[in-house]
Amino acid sequence: MPKTNNFSKQETTTGLDIGSYSIKCVEMTRGSDKFELKRVSILPVNSNSPESVTKVLKLIFDQQILTSRRIRISVSGGGSSLLIRRIQLPVMTLADLRGAIRFEAEGHIPFPIDDCQIDFQILNQTPDKKSMNVILAAAKKDFIKERLKQVAALNIAPELIDVDIFCLINAYEVLGQTAGESTFGLLNIGHRVSSFAIVQDKLPFFVREIPFGALGITQELMQSKGIPDADADRLKMERNPESEQELKAAVMKGLEPLIDEMRHSIDYVENEMGDELKTIWLSGGGALCPGTAQTLTEELGKQVSLWDNTKRMEVFGDIDHQFLAAHSAELNVALGMVLRGVGGKK
């Protein structure tokens, strides 16, 4: 969650996005007026078991591969272990809210408050100045402990843990391409979970983790073509003109649950904020499947486009530029984790 951090201008920081399909890792150094991307790795996870994740983490944290020991990790729960809410509370000071947040949060959290790790950010006051909008995040302690256990075995103690959706907002705020937009959406399509945010006047008006992702496309291809998941995964990333229509149909069917949830969210938010959402910036591994942006544009009635996160970064020569061009959209959560605290913001 947003808090100011001292981001050393000389020290390299590592952001780690542990997903159910792959683990993304970036190392970045912030200069006085630029961001230097030093290393990038994306390694597949064969299963979501702790053993499989630990095995991949050992490869990443090998001293010959990773130079920085300043580690930040993100978490995503898809609603089962992580809850994010935008709530209204009586106006109070930050110090008073720190003391009252567990009591205030209790009515908004569907699991026992004592089982949760709570964090929050005050956004702004309502027009009548009697209430304030607050983003509340609650994660089950067992969920956080399990994530920490995966890196503790490697003698790594993360300096920060943040939520995927806030990492995504951080990444776009620093590396995005907003052209005077006061309201826009951010969607990161993961394998099993997607992160969706609507930003208005540089503040997160709405944030949500949606428990649907690109796995739906894989499952649709497996069913329609009668092929194993590995072949379906490979097919959904191919850009074969002969498979274009078949793949587009799989994308539309596979992302249908995600699209339905986004429609409901967009309708609700547009009514609440009194403004129309016109643009959604897209990222994540699932965004790279051919036809995804076009399908979302057609189904949601909004302009949905991939965004380029590399324009404001200096990329070191030993990074494979071709690989980065093909996969940079998968790195936004990890990049946002590293960039937290830039400019005294999130």
How many domains, the chain?
A: 1
- Pairing mode, strands 279-283 and 303-306: parallel
Say if 68 falls within a structural domain.
Answer: no
Low-confidence ranges of the chain (pLDDT < 50): 2-8, 344-346
* pLDDT at site 329: 95
Crossing angle of helices 292-300 and 256-273, in 10° steps, is: 50
* pLDDT at site 227: 93
Say if 301 falls within a structural domain.
Answer: yes
Q: What is the CATH number of the domain that holds 249?
A: 3.30.420.40
* pLDDT at site 68: 60
Q: Supply 244's token pair.
A: 């274009």
Say if 191 falls within a structural domain.
Answer: yes
The parent domain of residue 195 ranges over 177-307
pLDDT tens readout for residues 20-51: 889 999 999 876 567 889 989 999 887 767 77
Say if 148 falls within a structural domain.
Answer: no
Query: Whole-angstrom Cα distance, residue 151 to residue 158?
Result: 8
* pLDDT at site 96: 93
Say if 244 falls within a structural domain.
Answer: yes
User: Three-state DSSP class for 282?
Assistant: strand
DSSP 27-73: EEEE-SS-EEEEEEEEEE-SSSSHHHHHHHHHHHT-TTT-----EEE
* pLDDT at site 97: 93
* pLDDT at site 240: 77
Query: Whole-angstrom Cα distance, residue 26 to residue 45?
Result: 17
Query: Whole-angstrom Cα distance, residue 341 to residue 336?
Result: 10
CA torsion through residues 292, 346, 86, 146, sign: positive
Predicted TM-score (pTM) of the model is 0.89
Q: Supply 264's token pair.
A: 């409901």
* pLDDT at site 53: 83
